[in-house]
Structure 1
């Protein structure tokens, strides 16, 4: 593996930005994480394809990162390349007359929600207040326990490394709670949504209602990654953890929120090891008290012990 050769081959050769030893705490909602050996922001599909070709040739591991809202990066960082999607993947186009909206994978989800409201289009109310970007939202089928973004997706375009662009009709994708059947080795580039023209005021009222509910029931004033564990079938992780008496439990700067027990907040200076120690306690207590093995919703990047 030659990180240096990859850096040299990409620097100044793609439409984007190529950095070395970029601290990932700057790119995650938890504000936690050591440096990525390489960090690339690719602004075009050509730049993205070129980046992956070079990394593959040099044997450098890589990962796509959106807004880092559900990622825990190791304190030691990541000995590979973190790729983010830039300019061309941050565009929204629509035909409000028929409710069709196409959004790049790099579009911030909150921006998309705001844009469809302006166009008086209903269907994304379940995504109000959810952090991250469109690519990540589609990949994990973001939404609530009962409503998902997948219900309004009409098609998805991905990049399959070594093959090229692939378009999936929504009917070809299995949409499940917090996951889809889109291959893990493919990069989501854009998604087209089929929304419903409606009354803007009623859409706005529903969005505000949901947003206020999130503010009441979830911590919003401190860095977090959102929900840490997935809800088991028919169960609420937050309620399970609260019944275990874990609200307020902390290790170092990482603390289980007093508002919602399935959120770990960074009180300042939290490390990845702090957050991991809290997660282990959450997992162990629920297993001991209820016999349930929680499944992480957060993804891990780098080496952990």
Structure 2
């Protein structure tokens, strides 16, 4: 692997901002993580394609990251390149006539939701308060236990390294609870969401009610990655299973099971990735011992954190 050669080949040669040793604690909602060996903020499709081409030729591992709202980065960092989508992937536009919103993958999901509401388009209220970018939300089919964003995808523009750009209809992609059927290397660049006409006042009221509920039931004031484990099949969600094991408030170092929501681990200010992993293992093992349920992580890991 020649990270140095990749850095030399890309610096100043493409429409991308290339840096070395970028601390990922600055780019994750957990505020945790060591440095990425290289960071590439790609502003155009051609720059993104060129960056991936060079990284592949130099055998450098790479990953696309949005706002890092569902990501735990190892304390040692990531010995590869983190790719972030920039300028040309930050557009968002609503069409009242077609009842759609079209947005680039780098747009915050909150902005997509607000754009739809301002155009009196209903169907995204469930996503009110969900952090991260549109691209990240689609890649993990973000949503609630009952509604997922995949249900709203009319079409996608996707880059598949080695193949090129593709337009995929939402109906061609399998969607499930916290996963989608896109290829493992597919990069979502843009999405068109199919919505419906509604009343602005009713849309705003529903969003405010949902956001108020999130404020009262989730820890909003401390860094976290949202839900740590996926909800398993059955009547009890992950939070209830963890809470029933008496783990609310359980802590290792600076990482603590939230006293507000037992499926959140919060960073009390000094947490390391190792602290979070230790808390996760305890949550997982206690629930399995008590119920036989094998909780599966919803948080994604980067580096040796796993």
TM-score (norm: length of structure 2): 0.98
Query: 2-side partners of 1:72 and 1:205: how far apart?
Result: 34
Are the equivalent residues in 2 in contact too, given 1:78–1:301 (CA < 8 A)? yes
Q: CA RMSD in A?
A: 0.8
CA displacement at 1:94 relative to structure 2: 2.6
Question: How much does 1:115 deviate?
Answer: 1.0
- Aligned counterparts of 2:227 and 2:238: Cα–Cα separation in 1: 9
1:45 maps to 45
d(CA) in 1 for partners of 2:208, 2:23: 35
| Structure 2, unaligned runs of 5 or more | none
SS, match of residue 268 in structure 1: coil
2:285 aligned residue:
284
SS in 1 for 2:277: helix
User: 1:168-187: CA deviations, max 9, x gaps?
Assistant: 11111111111110111110
- Quote how far apart the aligned CAs of 1:222 are: 0.4
Alpha-carbon contact 1:98-1:197 (below 8 Å) kept: no
Instruction: Structure 1: give runs of 5+ residues left out of the alignment.
Output: none
Shift of 1:95: 1.4
Question: 1:216-271 deviations in whole A, cap 9, x for unaligned?
Answer: 11000000000000000123100000000000000010000000000000000110
What residue number does 2:269 align with? 268
Partner of 1:66: 66
Query: Does 1:303 find its partner at 2:304?
Result: yes
Cα displacement string for residues 40-76 of structure 1 (whole angstroms, at most 9, x for unaligned residues): 1001101100000000010000000011011100000
- Which residue in 2 is equivalent to 1:115? 115
Show the counterpart of 2:86: 86
Structure 2 distance, partners of 1:93, 1:214, is 27
Structure 2 residue aligned with 1:103: 103
